[in-house]
Amino acid sequence: RFKEKNEEARVHFIPYLKEGVFVTLCAPVVIKLKGARCYLKGNVFLENEFLSTERLAELISSLICKEEQEKETRDFLEKLNGVFALVAETKDIIFCVVDKTRSTPLFYVKTKNSFIVSDSAYYLKDKINPHLNEENAAEFMVAGYVTGNETLFDDIKQVRNAEFLIYQKNDGLLKSCCYFKFLHGNYYELPENALLEILDRTLVNAFSRLVKSTSQQGKTLVVPLSGGLDSRIIVAMLKRLGANDVICVSYGRKGCRESEISKNVAEALEYEWIFVESTAKKWRENYNSKEADLFRIWAANLTSLPHMQDFPTVKELKLQGKIPENSVFVPGHTGYGTYIPDSASFDLEAYLEASLKKHYNLWPYGQEPEKVFKQRVSKLISGLEIKDNETFANALEYFDSNERQAKFILNSVRVYEFFGYEWRIPLCDSELIEFFLRVPIEYRINCNLYKKYARNCLFSGELEMLQKIDCTTDFLNLKALKKRSIYEKVLHYRTFAHSYYDQKVNNPVWGRYFENPLISRLLIKVSRYDNENIDDYPLLKSILEYRNEEKYPLTVNGMSSLEYLSGIKGETYASRSKKVIKPAGSPVKRPL
């Protein structure tokens, strides 16, 4: 914690959190200027030039020290590209901002006489001892994250993506401003070939920024290379731009199709390939380890489901020294497709039904929770018009970008930080985001433009061999499945049968909970699933009872969300020792 003259206005960042050799967290860069102090995590580009932390601090400080700074600050922040969280403090104000994707979260508490901002929601929880918000907890249970600026506890808030806060110390006023919105419009009126050319230039720019801030600084790029399209585009772009210090990593059941495809892609590009085998036993040992408990607290931050999928792999890479200490992970997170469900009408009610089906699906639930969730989604898209398929799709993507992508998908990068590595997300580059916001809907449906670019443009010439390697993303045939011939459907199902088996049937990740995953999952389909730690929360209990009555199958993430909630009340961040502890007498997580 950094104390200032005003004891009631405080800025707190976790300097480090260390447990054995497993946990090393990146501290913020602290820049002291005349009249201001800035705390920064991340890296930032302005007009395609990398900004040093000192230069960014100077620019921000000059803006926030002005009397009427809101519009100028908004315009400046909209121009920034990169992943970052920044807090600046002067004698009069505290200024907080996160990037357009909320890749590095910030949390805050405002009471009558104080304001505290931190990158640890647990730190704030210790400070004010708030109440668990049951509606927020129910949303977390079925969606995997808490929407809006809420967290699981009353009075602890989060800075939303593309948002900045200004807290006035003298009068205690807090103002929130949005500097960018994920809204489609100002569409390109160009033929497909022209759009593909713009997309190509945009991707080259995005990956040039990546290479400039990593490879050209002597860092090794580590790409989690799956059998899908996004990570294949990443390694193809790196090869195209001449990046040589690249390691491709794959994990899963030995002999699984994803890893076989990954190996073929890496070998075709002449990149080093590392495979980390996953077994149910490994998963059980890792999931129940002390460092996994620490990671869940660090990664979830009372807001998002901890992303455990990469945890055993990154841990093994770290402990066995398989990748350099200066490695930078480059996952293939993106969201450029439009999903339009079959619907007889395009109105608010149809939108709410589609949103709940897509996002609120970790647990089944009855009418009462459904009503609560619909009210929350309605509030988040307030002001958006829904009248046809285009506005319907825009509203779906707006929610997806602000909530699922920002809170759930991108939160997976916490695992890299936890083990002391940097990360970049080039497919979420601001220039790419702004490009796709201008792409007409007919090119966004089923990611058609994105897939055509890979098939016809990127995977050509020296990279043409990438077209011929199997892919778990169907990018060669862009027809909707229901419009394909019988022969085309047979090819599709034959291609994806192995992936279904690996993901749904024989997935070692279920070893988190069961010694014999397949048998246990079959038995639990016809039995009750109880957790006594939620008995005091009627809404949560009703969701669990609904599942038990209807005997719906369980999901990995659903079990994880309930487990996290069942143990959350006893978890504490001790600021003095810089360790995560459980106080005596706290509820113990019940083994699942």
234 lies in the same domain as 301: yes
Number of domains in the chain: 2
Using CA atoms, how far apart are residues 350 and 197, in angstroms rounded to an integer? Answer: 36
Of 455, 473, 491, at which residue does a domain stop? Answer: 473
Residue 295: give the domain boundaries.
Answer: 192-336+410-473
Using CA atoms, how far apart are residues 472 and 494, in angstroms rounded to an integer? Answer: 11
Contact 118, 125 (CB under 8 A): no
166 occurs within a structural domain: yes
201 lies in the same domain as 281: yes
252 lies in the same domain as 323: yes
Contact 335, 401 (CB under 8 A): yes
Of 428, 451, 473, at which residue does a domain stop? Answer: 473
40 lies in the same domain as 165: yes
172 lies in the same domain as 290: no
393 occurs within a structural domain: no
Helices 134-143 and 556-567, interaxial angle, to 10°?
Answer: 150
Q: Please tell me the predicted confidence (pLDDT) of residue 555.
A: 87
Q: Please tell me the predicted confidence (pLDDT) of residue 533.
A: 84
Which tokens hold the place of 6? 């005003």
Which residues have CB under 8 Å from 40's CB, separation 6+? Answer: 28, 29, 31, 53, 56, 57, 84, 85, 86
| DSSP assignment of 229-257 | HHHHHHHHHHHHTT---EEEEEEESTT-H
240 lies in the same domain as 277: yes
114 occurs within a structural domain: no
Q: Please tell me the predicted confidence (pLDDT) of residue 314.
A: 96
171 lies in the same domain as 22: yes
Q: Please tell me the predicted confidence (pLDDT) of residue 331.
A: 97
CATH number for the domain spanning 234: value is: 3.40.50.620
Instruction: Give me the residue label for tokens 């862009």.
Output: 478
CA dihedral 64, 65, 66, 70 (to 10 degrees): 10
255 occurs within a structural domain: yes
213 lies in the same domain as 298: yes
Q: Please tell me the predicted confidence (pLDDT) of residue 178.
A: 96
81 occurs within a structural domain: yes
Cβ-based burial of 90 (10 A; exposed 0-12, middle 13-18, buried ≥19):
middle
CA dihedral 160, 163, 167, 171 (to 10 degrees): -100
Q: Please tell me the predicted confidence (pLDDT) of residue 160.
A: 97
229 occurs within a structural domain: yes
Q: Please tell me the predicted confidence (pLDDT) of residue 75.
A: 94
Q: Please tell me the predicted confidence (pLDDT) of residue 339.
A: 66
Of 473, 506, 523, at which residue does a domain stop? Answer: 473
Q: Please tell me the predicted confidence (pLDDT) of residue 8.
A: 40
Q: Please tell me the predicted confidence (pLDDT) of residue 519.
A: 75
User: What does each of the 592 residues of the chain score in pLDDT, given as a tens digit?
Assistant: 323 323 344 555 443 333 322 222 245 788 888 888 899 989 999 988 999 889 998 999 888 877 677 889 999 999 999 999 999 998 888 999 999 999 999 999 998 888 999 999 998 998 888 999 999 999 999 999 999 999 999 999 999 999 999 999 988 999 999 999 999 999 999 999 999 999 999 999 999 999 999 999 999 999 999 999 999 999 999 999 999 999 999 999 898 889 999 999 999 999 999 999 999 999 999 999 989 999 998 899 999 999 999 999 999 999 999 999 999 999 999 877 666 666 668 899 999 999 999 999 999 999 999 999 999 999 999 999 999 989 999 999 999 999 999 999 999 999 999 999 999 999 999 999 999 999 999 999 888 999 999 999 999 999 999 999 989 888 776 666 677 788 777 766 766 666 666 666 667 888 888 777 777 777 777 778 888 888 889 999 999 999 999 888 888 899 999 989 988 865 544 333 233 323 223 223 333 2
332 lies in the same domain as 433: yes
Which residues have CB under 8 Å from 413's CB, separation 6+? Answer: 103, 329, 331, 423, 425
- Start-end of H helices in 420-516: 430-436, 441-444, 448-452, 486-500
Q: Please tell me the predicted confidence (pLDDT) of residue 569.
A: 64
68 lies in the same domain as 174: yes
Which tokens hold the place of 163? 């948002």
Mapped onto helix, strand or coil, the DSSP state of residue 573 is strand
The β-bridge relationship of strands 115-118 and 93-98 is unpaired
Mapped onto helix, strand or coil, the DSSP state of residue 184 is coil
Using CA atoms, how far apart are residues 405 and 428, in angstroms rounded to an integer? Answer: 10
CA distances from 296 to 183, 199, 299, 302, 560 (A): 33, 37, 5, 10, 10
452 occurs within a structural domain: yes
CA distances from 261 to 131, 253, 304, 495 (A): 48, 13, 31, 12
172 lies in the same domain as 203: no
CA distances from 329 to 112, 287, 324, 364 (A): 42, 22, 11, 35
Contact 162, 181 (CB under 8 A): yes
Sign of CA dihedral 261, 267, 268, 272: positive
77 occurs within a structural domain: yes
249 lies in the same domain as 298: yes
* pTM of the entire predicted model: 0.89
Which residues have CB under 8 Å from 186's CB, separation 6+? Answer: 438
